[in-house]
């Protein structure tokens, strides 16, 4: 069994030998240089894609923030108008209550003592 396994390993080694020697020692530097350039170009391309996506995302965020700010400003203005209207209504009610109290006091106060009753 061991002899069969050894024979199989030798056969595989003989078949793989040309493949393992596909790059002669002289071409290793050129291959590494080419691979480094390819990786550099890929990294540069990916960085550009990420930068463009970030720029687009920032634009979308700016538009959304502008819309939210506009909405907040509009709601604040509406709220201020409602507060002002409520204050006017409150002032009118207060004024009416004060005037009503004055007129009630003047109605209750006799102008002079009645003629039939003797003065004390």
DSSP string, 10-31: HHHHHHHHHHHTSS-GGGHHHH
- Identify whether the C-beta of residue 23 lies closer than 8 Å to the C-beta of residue 31: yes
Whether the predicted model's global pTM rises above the 0.85 cut: no
Query: Closest Cα partner for 78 from 66, 88, 86, 67?
Result: 86
Higher per-residue confidence, 34 vs 67: 67
At residue 19 the predicted structure's pLDDT band, cuts being 50, 70 and 90, is low
What pLDDT is recorded for position 55?
95
Our measurement of the distance from residue 48's CA atom to the centroid of its chain's CA atoms, rounded to an integer in Å, reads 24
Cα 69 to Cα 62: distance, rounded to the nearest angstrom: 10
């Amino acid at each position: 069994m061991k002899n069969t396994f050894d024979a199989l390993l030798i056969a595989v080694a003989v078949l793989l030998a040309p493949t393992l020697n596909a790059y002669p020692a002289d071409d290793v530097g050129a291959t590494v240089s080419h691979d480094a350039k390819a990786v550099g170009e890929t990294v540069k391309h990916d960085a550009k894609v990420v930068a463009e996506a970030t720029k687009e995302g920032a634009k979308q965020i700016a538009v959304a923030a502008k819309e939210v700010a506009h909405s907040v400003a509009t709601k604040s203005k509406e709220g201020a108008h409602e507060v002002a209207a409520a204050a006017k209504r409150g002032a009118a009610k207060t004024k009416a209550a004060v005037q009503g109290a004055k007129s009630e006091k003047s109605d209750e106060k006799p102008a002079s003592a009645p003629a039939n009753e003797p003065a004390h």
